[in-house]
Amino acid sequence: MLKHRKIYYTLSLVLVIASVISLASFGLNFGIDFTGGSIMDIEFRDGRPSHEEVRSALGETDLGEIIIQDIGDAGLILRFKNVEETAHADVSEKLKSLGEFDERGFQSIGPVIGEETKRKSIWAISLVFIMILVYVAWAFRGVSFPLKSWKYGVVALITLFHDVLITVGIFSVVGYFLNIEVGVPFVAALLTILGYSVNDTIVIFDRIRENVLRQGSIFNFADVIDKSVKQTYVRSLNTSLTTLFVLMAIFFFGGFTIKYFVLILIIGVVSGTYSSLFLASPLLFSWSVIKLKNR
C-alpha cells in the first residue's frame, strides 16, 4: 500500500484544491439559522400555484427578497426576512387568495441569534479538533519510536481536516446549483463525520501501535504499517459499506427534510474511509522517513 502513497497524496491534493476553489467560487448558502430570517412551509390542497402568482400575492407585503422552493407535489417553502407574528398572519391571509393550504411550519430567527449560532458552530468544531488531538496523544503515550504519540494526533487531525474540507467543498457546489441552504443540521452532520472518521483512523493506528510494541527495538516501520492496514481494512470497509447502505436507503426513501443531511453524511463516510485507509497511514510513514533523514 505504501508504495502507492504518492498517488494517494496527489488524489487528496487535487480534491482539497478543488474544494477550496469551489468554496471560493460558490461559498456556502447559509440558511436562516446563521443569517436570520423567516421560513414558512405550506402545502396547497388543490394544486400548487406558480412562483409568479405567489410573488404577486405577496407584492404589497414588506418581506424583502422572497425565495420560493417547491417541495413535493403541492408544497412550497418560502424564505424572507425576519418578521413579527402580525406580518406572518398577513402573509397567510394573502396566500389564501391562491387556494386553501395547510401550514406545516413557520420559523423566525433574528440576525443576532443567527450570528451567535454561526460563532458557536465554529467553536464546537474547533473544540472537537483540539480534544481529538489531546485524546490521541494521551492514548498513544506508550509509543515513542519511530514517532511520538502527539504526531499520531497531528496526522489524525490532518485527515479529519481533509474529510471536512472535501465534504464542505462538494456541498458548496450542490448547494449553489440546487439552492440548498446550510443550517444547524449541516454542523451536526460535520460533527458526526468527525467522530466517524477519527474512529476509523484510530482503529488502524491502534493496530499499528500494537504491532510496534510487539516488534521490540528493531523493526521495519513500513512493514508494520502494511501489516496493520491489511489486518484492519476488511473491518473498515465492511463498517463503511453497511453504514452507506443504510444512508442510501434513507436518502432515496426518507423524507425531504433529512435528505441533504444524509447526503452530507454519505460524502463524509466515503471521504473518511478513504482517508483512514489511504492517507493517514502513509502520512505516518512519510513523517517517519523525514525524521530519519533529518537525523
Please state the pTM of the whole predicted model.
0.78
Look up residue 263 and give its amino acid. L
| Cis peptide, bond prior to residue 146, ω within 30 of zero | yes
The tens digit of pLDDT for each residue in 232-264 reads 989 889 999 999 999 999 999 887 778 888 999
d(CA 8, CA 13): 8
Domains in the chain: boundaries: 2-32+113-294, 37-109
Region 2-32+113-294: CATH code: 1.20.1640.10
Q: Are the beta carbons of 150 and 284 closer than 8 angstroms?
A: no
C-alpha cell at 144: 515513542
Distance between CA 266 and CA 271 in Å, rounded? Answer: 9
Q: Give one word for 47, left, alpha or beta, with left for phi > 0 and alpha for psi -120 to 50.
A: left
pLDDT surpassing 80 at residue 11 = yes
DSSP 44: E
Helices (H), 64-148: 85-95, 111-139
Return the CATH architecture of domain 37-109. Answer: 2-Layer Sandwich (3.30)
Q: Grade residue 112 by pLDDT with cuts at 50, 70 and 90.
A: low
Domains 2-32+113-294 and 37-109 share a fold: no
pLDDT tens track for 167-179: 999 989 988 888 7
